[in-house]
Structures are given as structure tokens and as C-alpha cells.
Amino acid sequence: MICREWQRKIPDFLNGKMFLKEQEQFIAHVRTCKDCYEELEIMYMLAEGLKELENGSDTSFNFKHMLDKKLKTAQLQCERYNSFMRIKGLIFGAMYAVTAIGIIVQIWQWI
């Protein structure tokens, strides 16, 4: 995917509307692409700044740090999802194996 397409997806990421698979690719991209990271930073600052203005609280936040934390949390979410899918795959694999063995044993008994 080209940078322009990733940049168009920044609001989805910030609003947590991105699919995990896509989120994973998105994070990997912004971590390596300076342009997209800067774009993300600007949009994040705007979004968070507006929120702070609405709440009327202190706007002297460290956006860079906050964004970094958001990215790390999102990445962790992807990793957890991946390991969950891996475990799920293993369990289903084992279940299929047990079922297959059961069928083979039954066929064996018929013969």
C-alpha cells in the first residue's frame, strides 16, 4: 500500500476503527515511514488537542509520548490477537486430528 492510502486511514486508526490485521500493517508502516508518522502525529495532536479543548483541561500534554503509548498498545493488541489465533489454530488442529484418528479407528474396526 502506498503512503497516501495509509495516511487516509489514520483517522480509522485513531478512532480504533481499524481491523487488527490492517492495524498491524499500519503500525509497521508508520514505524518505518517518516512521512506517515509525521502525518499521524499531526492528526493525533489535532484530535487530542480538540478533545482537551472540549474538556477544558490542560493542553500541555506530551503528544509524542502519548502517541507512542497508543502505538505500543495497538501493537500489543495485534500481538495478542495473533497469539490467540495461533493457539486457536493449534486447538482446532488437535481437534481435527482426534476426530480423524477416531474415524480411522472406526473404519479399522469395520474391517
Is residue 43 near Zn ion by the rule CB under 5 A?
Answer: no
Q: How many helices (DSSP H) and strands (DSSP E) are in the chain?
A: 5, 0
Hey, which residues between 70 and 109 contact Zn ion (CB under 5 A)?
A: none
Q: Measured from the CB atom, is 27 or 36 closer to Zn ion?
A: 36
- CB nearer Zn ion, residue 6 or residue 78: 6
Q: Is the dihedral of CA 21, 24, 28, 33 positive or negative?
A: positive
- Burial string for 69-88 (b: 16+ CB within 10 Å, else e) reads ebbeebbeebeeeeeeeeee
Using CB under 5 A as the binding rule, whether residue 36 contacts Zn ion is answered as yes
* 30 Cα distance to chain centroid: 13
Q: What is the nearest approach in angstroms of Zn ion to the Cβ of residue 50?
A: 24
Could you tell me the smallest distance in angstroms from the CB atom of residue 60 to Zn ion?
29
42 binds Zn ion (CB under 5 A): no
Asked if 33 touches Zn ion (CB under 5 A), the answer is yes
Tell me the C-alpha distance between 37 and 31, whole Å: 7
Site residues (CB under 5 A) for Zn ion? Answer: 3, 33, 36
